Structure 1
Amino acid sequence: MFPPQVPTTDVSELDAERPVPEGVVLLDVREQDEWDAGHAPDAVHIPLGELPVRWGELDPEVPILVICHSGGRSARAAAWLNQGDFDATNLDGGMVAWSQRGFPVEQ
């Protein structure tokens, strides 16, 4: 059986002035060293491997945009969250596309 279809947004669909829409949480599921190297401002960091035990830190009433390095791990995280009644969308292209688009990155 195939996993459920994961809602996906391409980085090109994000607003240049406000890439993360108001009322949406940006969830970064990369590892700590990747996070430390640079992440989107105001992102919430929960590595993919910790998500099954830390999902309670997320509000199921708030939409989640999930990001990783290039989109693979974030797709898995979004699929898992959506099975648990979250409204999660994968950001295709991840931090690679985020940076290429010129969106802010902080350390």
Structure 2
Amino acid sequence: MPTVAVGDLKDDDFLLDVREDDEWQAGHAAGALHIPISEFVGRYGELTEAAPQDGRVHVICRSGGRSAQVTMYLVQQGIDAVNVDGGMQIWAAAGRPVVTDQGTPGSVL
């Protein structure tokens, strides 16, 4: 399973958040693309349109389990994807910003 540590992510890295809507609404990384794992196969086209053609997709969830599943699926599709180790829990613990859709400080459920 290809993984990356939160501390190794750059601010402009493409981030795919696969948590469910309630988790996203509570708080997420600014600029992330949100496609819940429960809707991922049906909304796969949104990722292929938004993801950089020559870049890596960094997949994140709450702790790393759901994002690992999506990462494996993407790798099987030939996409350069990595799982963000520890997910949004480590993201927040590392002091990375967590925001709501309104841009106010958020939290990780």
Fold shared per TM-score above 0.5 = yes
Match of 1:95 among 88, 100, 103: 88
Deviations 1:18-70 (A, max 9, x none): x34x3x32000000000001000000000011111111112362420000000
| Residue type at the aligned position of 1:10 | A
The whole-number CA distance in structure 2 between the counterparts of 1:31 and 1:105 is 16
Count how many residue pairs are aligned between Structure 1 and Structure 2.
96
What is the CA RMSD across the aligned residues, in angstroms? 1.4
SS of structure 2 residue aligned to 1:27: strand
| CA drift at 1:102 | 0.4
The whole-number CA distance in structure 2 between the counterparts of 1:34 and 1:100 is 16
Gaps of 5+ in 1: 1-5
Partner of 1:32: 21
1:70 aligns with 2:36: no
The whole-number CA distance in structure 2 between the counterparts of 1:52 and 1:81 is 11
Q: TM-score, normalised by structure 2?
A: 0.81
Partner of 2:6: 11
Aligned identity (percent) is 50
Q: TM-score, normalised by structure 1?
A: 0.83
The whole-number CA distance in structure 1 between the counterparts of 2:3 and 2:56 is 13
Gaps of 5+ in 2: 101-109
| Residue type at the aligned position of 2:88 | M
Deviations 1:43-101 (A, max 9, x none): 00000111111111123624200000000000100001111111110001100000000
